Amino acid sequence: MSNSLLILGRQPALGLAELESLYGTDAVQPASSEAALLDVESGEVDFTRLGGSVKLCKVLDTFDTTRWPDIQKSLERLAPRVTADMPEGKILLGISAYGLDIRPQQLVAAGLTIKKALRTNGRSVRLVPNQEPALNSAQVLHNKLTAENGCELVIVRNGGKTICARTVAEQDIESYTLRDRGRPKRDARVGMLPPKLAQIIINLAVGSDRPDSQIILDPFCGTGVVLQEAMLMGYTPYGTDLEPRMIEYSHANLNWLREHFNFGLAPGRLEQGDATTYQWDNIVQFVAGETYLGRPFTSQPNAEVLAQTTSDVNVILTKFLSNIGSQLPTGARLCLAVPAWQIAPDKFKHLPLIDRLSDLGYNRVRFEHVRDEQLLDYREDQIVARELLVLTRK
């Protein structure tokens, strides 16, 4: 039985690929469309670096049923054992369900039954009521369900079985918001890369090696989001950008980060340079970043405009890959967010260079649990999506 269960974020495929990249194919098993089992002890999972997972849980049991009455009875038997070693004081209880056809009222009723059973054992209990089948991060954190006296029971349908787990960590939404909106320098014109996506990009770039002292290069660093997340993970950030203003912004943002999170963090290195011609140091082993995405579109462009935009971006990124490829050692790994254009619901136009990566000197990393076409970050109403290319230098 796997030791840990992770509830994946808004785009589960990205979280699944991230886990596979960090921990290896054999350690990861998809569990429904929203969760993944991980054959790693929950205490050994570096949850703060995972941008694609919102909950980390310790697996308690697996029930050979998906029928709610049977699941509820199993929870009633399990809860007293789970809470037996909790410190004295009020128990904070919550229940979240994924992939099961259960109404919130049914979860509340189950929680009240469990509360009654625990009270017969002399324990005081406060139940967090469900408005939805799953409690969100704000509810879990506000009600202290990951504290010593907290207990969020998480149930996930996995085929014909149901996994029961207990949440041990929840994504720190306040920290993500601060790192996103609290930075002194932001510029919507160059894109607003979310810190969680930056973490995923870095984790896909470094793979399972994860050396703490290595340099992470972002050749299109912009305001420094990838660099800040790399710094927080313990890497040395190295950023370049064509625009001097972006270098100034990254300087300001990284200095702010060191003051707010850990002043002892290495300041990193920032240089102005055109990614299509720049000469970086030959010590770079990992490249992570969001490349040039082309023109922003708020509505569907006509075929001629889209073709021209695609061509312009393709030329620039082909020159970039050729340039940096001549400087990278064999086996160097990259994760690049490149544009893809949504031309119809869930239908995308991709860069032509993707079909000739081998000619450019790269191998595309394939994942067992996620298809290439699933490595997209976008919302339904977005035209320009981010496609994540994970590559190694031949």
Please say which residue of 145, 171, 197 terminates a domain: 171
pLDDT at 210 over 70: no
* Segment holding 231, helix H or strand E: helix 225-232
Q: Does position 386 have pLDDT exceeding 70, yes or no?
A: yes
Residue 365 lies in a domain: yes
* Same domain, residue pair 147 and 229: no
Contact 52, 14 (CB under 8 A): yes
Q: Taking Cα atoms as reference points, which of 269, 261, 260 lies closest to residue 232? A: 261
Q: Are residues 131 and 157 in the same domain?
A: yes
Of the three residues 124, 144, 171, the one that is the final residue of a domain is 171
Res 261 pLDDT > 90: no
**Domains contained in the chain, number:** 2
Task: Give residue 191's pLDDT.
Answer: 66
Q: What is the CATH number of the domain that holds 317?
A: 3.40.50.150
- Residue 213: per-residue pLDDT: 64
Residues 150 and 250 in one domain: no
What is the predicted pLDDT for the residue at 56? 98
**Residue 285: per-residue pLDDT:** 87
Are 257 and 381 within one domain? yes
Task: State percent of the chain over pLDDT 90.
Answer: 87
Q: Within 10 A of 103 (CB to CB), how many other CB atoms are there?
A: 13
Angle, vertex CA 246, rays to CA 241 and CA 247, nearest 5: 70
Q: What domain range includes position 35?
A: 4-171
pLDDT at 211: 61
Q: Residues 159, 235: one domain?
A: no
Would residue 194 count as lying in a domain? yes
pLDDT tops 70 at residue 170: yes
Q: Is the pLDDT of residue 146 over 80?
A: yes
Count of helices and strands (H, E) across the chain = 9, 17
113 plus 254 within the same structural domain: no
Task: Confirm if 151 and 91 have CB atoms less than 8 A apart.
Answer: yes
Q: What is the rounded average pLDDT of the residues 337-361?
A: 96
Question: Do 102 and 217 have their domain in common?
Answer: no
- Among the listed residues 362, 320, 326, 365, the one whose alpha carbon sits nearest the alpha carbon of residue 218: 320
CATH number of domain containing 105: 3.30.2130.30
Confidence label for 114 from pLDDT (cuts 50, 70 and 90): very high
pLDDT value at position 52? Answer: 98
Quick one: 328 and 257 in the same domain?
yes
Q: Answer yes or no: is 176 within a domain.
A: no
Q: Are residues 253 and 165 in the same domain?
A: no
Is the residue at 138 inside a domain? yes
And the tokens for 176? 């993500």
Last residue of a domain, one of 146, 171, 196: 171
Which among 2, 31, 3 is positioned nearest to 15, based on CA atoms?
Answer: 31
User: Do 244 and 386 fall into the same domain?
Assistant: yes
Q: What is the full DSSP assignment across 86-115?
A: SPSSPEEEEEEEESS---HHHHHHHHHHHH
Question: Are 191 and 167 within one domain?
Answer: no
Domain identity same for 107 and 233? no
